[in-house]
Amino acid sequence: MKKLFPIFLLFVISSTAESLPVDSLIEQTLNLFDLDMYNGRIETPKLRLGHYSNEIAIDSNSEIADNFKIKYAYRIWHIIPHTSADEAGLFIDDTLIYLEGKPIYDSSSRGDDFLEYYTLTKKEGDVINISVLRNNSAIEIPVKLIAIKTSPLPYTNPGIGEVIKDSWLQKQINDFKLNEWVDAIKKQMAEASISDYNKVPFSDNLNPWRLNAITYLHRYPTRIGAYSRFIVNDLWDAYNNSETNEGFPSVVSRIAKHLDVIVNPGLAEKKPSNINELNNYLAVVQADLDKAYNPIKGEIEQITNELLKLLQSDSNYETENENAKNEPDRKKNRNDYEQKLAGVFKKANQVDLKSMISGLIKLSALIDKSWLLELTENLPLKEYSKNYYVIPGVKGEILYFWVDGNKKYIIGGKGANIYTENFNLIIDAGGNDIYETEPVPHGSFRYIADMEGNDTYSSNTGQGSGIGCIDILFDVEGDDTYRCNYFSQGSGLLGAGILADFNGNDLYTSHWCSQGAACLGIGLLFDAFGNDNYIADVYSQGFGYIKGIGVIMEYNGNDSYKAGWKIPDSRDPKRAHLSMSQGFGFGMRPWSLGLGTDGGIGILTDYNGHDVYNSDFFSQGGSYWYALGILHDRKGCDRYTAGQYSQGSGIHLSFGALLDDEGNDMYDAYAGLEQGNAHDWSAGCLEDLEGDDTYRGFTSSQGSALTVAFAYLFDKQGNDMYIMNKNDTTFSQGGGRQQPTRKAGSLGILLDIGNGSDTYTDPRIIEGIPLLKGQKGIVFDDGKLK
């Protein structure tokens, strides 16, 4: 095989040495990393105790050691609601001392691992006896074993072709005799695809908000790079190939498709050319929204307010629950809130997303500079007269104002205007304007278009803020400043928002859930030209939460993205902060509540420019809990800095990808699990296709797969440098970790081709010789041409 391997690589290199069409890039990834799905029997149901504990070393002279004859005990620090441990009556801070009257350890394992091994020998409904110390007394608690619910979910191939049966990776697996090892990983990933960890149903169907992309990738996890590239290519293809080169209906339709909502972009009717036509056009938009929100008419505000609490970074439901005085009170508070939130989810699930997105497509067709010019030329605009129009909520030139039913529409002049009230349509002809508008009424719409000027947009929510509505902000030209607090700047919460800025050096600042963020809807921030700065604290810059797709599409410019440094992360609170931004998908893991649901898709795609990406924990093509995060940079010499769980990192049953197509790039991350990493039934990748690149990680980095996962780092061309902690070469630079209690391992991969001059921290990596690492990782560097 070693003789054949370089021949195969020479074919790959010679066929991809120049820039390739995007379909060829997908094909290239599949040729290298494709694996068929697991076709064997899937074992269900899975049992779990549902507790987490820390080991306590017992002093041999202590009273506990003397009374119970044990060396180790285990203090519970968390219990997942409604699991076996919780339903049996185990409490946080209980100290585990016995299993079936014997110590919870032996010569090969102890603590949670020991309990998990024992549970694997049982079946659903069996009872095991666990003894704990509580209030200085020993109590034996019978624990009835409860299984995770399962339900087969349908899924479809998104359109990236049939499986490549003889991929490079499959050949390595065959050569190293790893088929059984890899099948065990694929089997458990497939089992994850049908599992439902939610304990508080809110729908007749299990997993009602799980996306096709997530189910498909659990069946074909090594397609994470190909699928992610397919999605971003799909969006840019919709924009670049439209007749006007301003194809927002097509872009919205493609986004909706990946949200599993099929809406024809042709639903955008002929654009209006006069007042009557515009009134009728917008009435059709409102009719779509009336249909969408009719099942929860009169309750939209209440439902969106409850949904806001799920991510509210300053204070949320978890904080309130944790402040309960004692364990029984905490459980009661939890159970009460679970039922309340399940009711909210049930109602939110009744919203007709297809009708809502149909309205969005129609309104997005008006993101068109040519149409704006034609419309304003055809309207009977008044010469500006200071006293002709006096409209509350507007200061400055007003050229036209009219009312249609309960909708207010206004056209401002070329001077500097200030808008402070809510209008359903604002078209401003120019000037350095200030927008401090109110939120859009629930169930309604807003369209703002500013044709020129250096404008300032400032509000708590706004600027393409679709909270129970649809909201579009279109700024044609100018160096603009956007400031907001939450769910703004192209964001949707049970609705949809678009911010489109076509030209200028712009500043975007926000606190949380902004700059292309979505939950149960669509959020899109599109910026065409200019050197732009994006600043947010958390959950932003391409963030997808529950059945939501949040997207930043940046077409051209040297841009700066910064996210984090506001909310300390408990793993390292003196240094680390949560970001959950820059192409991050997030789900609601049943952790402090038994109620949970699957995540969305977060996408940041930058088409051209030398860019800087700066973030911290959970970011840059990352994900958590049945979600997908994508950071894609097509061209430019870029710098990426981040913390843990970043730069192509899929965490806890989810998927993450960082894709960089061209340029001399620098990747820098600290704290571990980064740069093509995956953990816990997940997959992650980092693909860099061209340039002299530097990768600096810490641990479990650079093609590192942990706890039943697939992960890879692929560098196609250039003279590259790979740096990481020299004490972690087993798990890094193409490393994997076996998880004995799960009866499966992982597979990490580092592949560098293109005949560059490369350097590695791991001294075992030798050019031209495939390397298999002990806990299962594969490394290959083709080396310099002789």
pLDDT one-digit tens code per residue, 131-184: 999 998 999 999 999 999 998 889 999 999 999 999 999 999 999 999 999 999
pLDDT for 754: 94
pLDDT for 512: 97
pLDDT digits (tens, 9 = 90+) for 699-709: 999 999 999 99
Is 69 within the bounds of a domain?
yes
Residue 329's pLDDT band (cuts 50, 70, 90): confident
Answer whether 555's CB lies under 8 Å from 259's CB: no
Q: Is pLDDT at 324 greater than 80 in this prediction?
A: no
Answer whether 708's CB lies under 8 Å from 740's CB: no
pLDDT for 15: 30
pLDDT digits (tens, 9 = 90+) for 545-578: 999 999 999 999 999 999 998 999 988 888 899 9
Residues in contact with 358: Cβ distance below 8 Å, sequence separation at least 6, in sequence order: 263, 267, 288
Rounded alpha-carbon distances, angstroms, from residue 396 to 413, 426, 429, 726, 767: 8, 13, 12, 65, 69
Q: Which of 101-105, 263-267, 317-321, 488-492 has the lowest mean pLDDT?
A: 317-321
Answer whether 780's CB lies under 8 Å from 742's CB: no
Residue 326's pLDDT band (cuts 50, 70, 90): confident
Residue predicted with more confidence, 785 or 186: 186
pLDDT for 386: 60
CA distance 724 to 759: 11
pLDDT for 446: 99
Is 446 within the bounds of a domain?
yes
CA distance 369 to 502: 9
Strand pairing category for 655-660 and 628-633: parallel
User: What total of structural domains would you count in the chain?
Assistant: 2
pLDDT for 243: 54
Residue predicted with more confidence, 244 or 89: 89
Query: What is the mean pLDDT of the segment spanning 292-316?
Result: 93
CA dihedral (165, 170, 175, 179) positive or negative: negative
CB atoms within 10 A of CB 140: 12
Percent of the chain exceeding pLDDT 90 equals 85
Q: Tokens at residue 146, please? A: 């409860």
Answer whether 345's CB lies under 8 Å from 249's CB: no
Q: Is pLDDT at 245 greater than 70 in this prediction?
A: no
CA distance 459 to 419: 11
**Domain final position from 117, 132, 147:** 147
Is 322 within the bounds of a domain?
no
Is 336 within the bounds of a domain?
no
Residue 356 in 3-state DSSP?
helix
pLDDT for 475: 99
pLDDT for 246: 53
Residue 320's pLDDT band (cuts 50, 70, 90): low
Give the CATH number of the domain where residue 98 resides. Answer: 2.30.42.10
Alpha helices in 411-520 (DSSP H): none
Residues in contact with 785: Cβ distance below 8 Å, sequence separation at least 6, in sequence order: 755
| Backbone torsion region of residue 691, taken as left when φ is above 0, otherwise alpha when ψ lies between -120 and 50, otherwise beta | left
pLDDT for 247: 83
Residue 7's pLDDT band (cuts 50, 70, 90): very low
**Domain final position from 130, 147, 164:** 147
Query: What is the mean pLDDT of the segment spanning 671-690?
Result: 98
pLDDT digits (tens, 9 = 90+) for 591-630: 999 999 999 999 999 999 999 999 999 999 999 999 999 9
Residue 400 in 3-state DSSP?
strand
Is 342 within the bounds of a domain?
no
Determine what percent of the chain falls in helix, strand and coil, rounding each to the nearest 5. Answer: 25, 30, 45
Residues in contact with 451: Cβ distance below 8 Å, sequence separation at least 6, in sequence order: 369, 372, 427, 428, 429, 430, 476, 477
Q: Is pLDDT at 18 greater than 50 in this prediction?
A: no
pLDDT for 5: 31
**Domain final position from 99, 123, 147:** 147
Strand pairing category for 666-669 and 694-696: parallel
Report DSSP letters for 584-649, one per residue: EEE-B-SSSSS--B---EEEEEE-SS--EEE--EEESSEEESS-EEEEEE-SS--EEEE-SSBSSE
Instruction: Identify which of 290, 301, 295 has the alpha carbon closest to the alpha carbon of residue 346.
Output: 295
Query: What is the mean pLDDT of the segment spanning 7-26?
Result: 46
Answer whether 564's CB lies under 8 Å from 617's CB: yes
Is 635 within the bounds of a domain?
yes
- Domain range spanning residue 85? 51-147
Residue 327's pLDDT band (cuts 50, 70, 90): confident
pLDDT for 319: 66
pLDDT digits (tens, 9 = 90+) for 444-458: 999 999 999 999 999
CA distance 420 to 418: 7
Is 2 within the bounds of a domain?
no
Residue 213's pLDDT band (cuts 50, 70, 90): very high
Is 507 within the bounds of a domain?
yes
Q: What is the mean pLDDT of the chain?
A: 93
| Backbone torsion region of residue 467, taken as left when φ is above 0, otherwise alpha when ψ lies between -120 and 50, otherwise beta | beta
Q: Is pLDDT at 3 greater than 90 in this prediction?
A: no
> How many residues appear in the chain?
786
Q: Tokens at residue 503, please? A: 């030209």
